[in-house]
Amino acid sequence: MLISEIIRKKRDGATLDEAEIAALVTGITDGSASDEQVGAFGMAVYFQGMEAEEAAALTLAMRDSGDVMRWDLPGPVVDKHSTGGVGDNVSLMLAPIVAACGGYVPMISGRGLGHTGGTLDKMEAIPGYSATPDNDTFRRVVREVGCAIIGQTGTIAPADKRFYGIRDVTATVESIPLITASILSKKLAAGLDALVMDVKTGNGAFMPTFEASRDLARSIARVSTAAGVPCHALLTAMDQPLARDAGNAVEVRNAVEFLTDVHRDVRLEWVTLALAGEMLTLAGLTKDRDTGFSVARAALEDGRAAEVFAKMVAGLGGPADFVERYEDHLPKAPLTRDIAAPVEGHVASIDTRGIGLAVVELGGGRRRSADEIDPAVGITGMIDLGQTVREGTVMCTIHARTEDQLDAAEKQIRAAYRIGEAPEQTDPVLEIIS
């Protein structure tokens, strides 16, 4: 089957069958399709789109281009994926909450790029934590603890890795069918029984508009279900940082304090428990999402989720006493600076992307995928939209390695916060798509 003919067919707006898509993915995987051909196919899809059945076939073919996990566990295997945001450390609490309720969560996560943080980078702020264990260790921790948060290996969906790299340099990343297949090929390779998506919308989100976020959520839910894995999607607000802290070690600290009830950001708690309730219901562990929400809250309140988190950290090489002594174990930046409100008023708006870029300025994020990050730097204590401030009220604290970093981050943060009239408040969970 000629790759050029498959490209021609899609270029002309026709629907590809499973055999044609399988042939294309084989070419992407073994190199028999050139970079030029893969790029041309991506551009054809960008302009012509794909039917749900085509996107499902592309998802499954890319999933099957590498290892696919198979589980033999006494409970359902379920996971969540987020399109990314700022101060979004939900996964760190969500996986142990669901595991404490009887689910098994093999969470394969990614690193941060651009203004959004990466779950993997956060976990690697924990000394000794192995985010890329061998498969035997991964399986053991999931089986014994109930969850494991790790990174993608080179044997998971290798076709997607090559395809995404070519899309990135050919201006075809922003294609909903291709985004859908990219996300799902990796998630379904984890051998899931059910999946819940957290699709962000707002000025800190990957998708530019609410309509685009909704279209992506619908596409992922539809294609995942067509591929044999039931999926629901929550549209959640990213018009301000989800947690009060943004960075790597600072978000881990926030997560431990959330799990142990030292402090819980209200919006973060709402989104986390809503996702947990949806996961438990979709996996068949509770009868409906309201019950799931309550069951998840109970596992959080009685300390079971914190116990699971501690066991996961220890099982993947981190300190056995991490939850009890997280302040001693987590790295700290040597310099801090409080940022005060310049005038009296309310927090009228927050440029969430700008906050994320401030973390990048500090060295806590990446401009390029090969960049090293500093796990200790970040921003803590960020105040929320609508909060009343007086002149001199501390809006947040910067944690940095150098004075130059402090200055650059302060400039970004001051530009990101606008003081004025109080905005209308909205629920952080905007819509649920099933």
**Active-site residues: which are they?**
79-82, 119, 167, 182, 186-187
**335 Cβ neighbours under 8 A, 6+ residues apart:** 399, 400, 401, 402, 403, 405, 406
Q: How many CA atoms lie within 13 A of 246 on its CB side?
A: 34
Classify 39 in phi/psi space as left (phi over 0), alpha (psi -120 to 50) or beta: alpha
Query: By C-alpha distance, which of 320, 299, 266 is closest to 429?
Result: 266
The distance in angstroms from the start CA to the end CA of the chain is 37
116: left (phi over 0), alpha (psi -120 to 50) or beta: beta
CA pair distance 395, 339, nearest whole angstrom: 6
CA distance 105 to 312: 11
Q: Give the bridge partners for 232, in sequence order.
A: 196
Give whole-number Cα distances, 176 to 24, 77, 197, 312, 398, in Å.
19, 26, 14, 34, 36
Q: Is 248 exposed, middle or buried (0-12, 13-18, 19+ CB in 10 A)?
A: buried
Are 156 and 138 spatial neighbours (Cβ–Cβ below 8 Å)? no
As given in the structure block, the two tokens for residue 281 are: 């219901």
Residues near 215 by beta carbon (within 8 Å), at least 6 away in sequence = 176
Distance separating alpha carbons of residues 301 and 287, to the nearest angstrom: 21
d(CA 26, CA 39): 15
- The backbone torsions φ and ψ at residue 46, rounded to the nearest 5 degrees and listed phi first, read -55, -45
- Rounded Cα distance between 228 and 292, Å, is 23
Q: Phi, psi at residue 133, to the nearest 5°?
A: -75, 165
Question: What's the CA gap between 62 and 81, in Å, rounded?
Answer: 18
Dist. CA 180–CA 213, nearest whole Å: 12
Contact (CB, 8 A) for 77 and 195: no
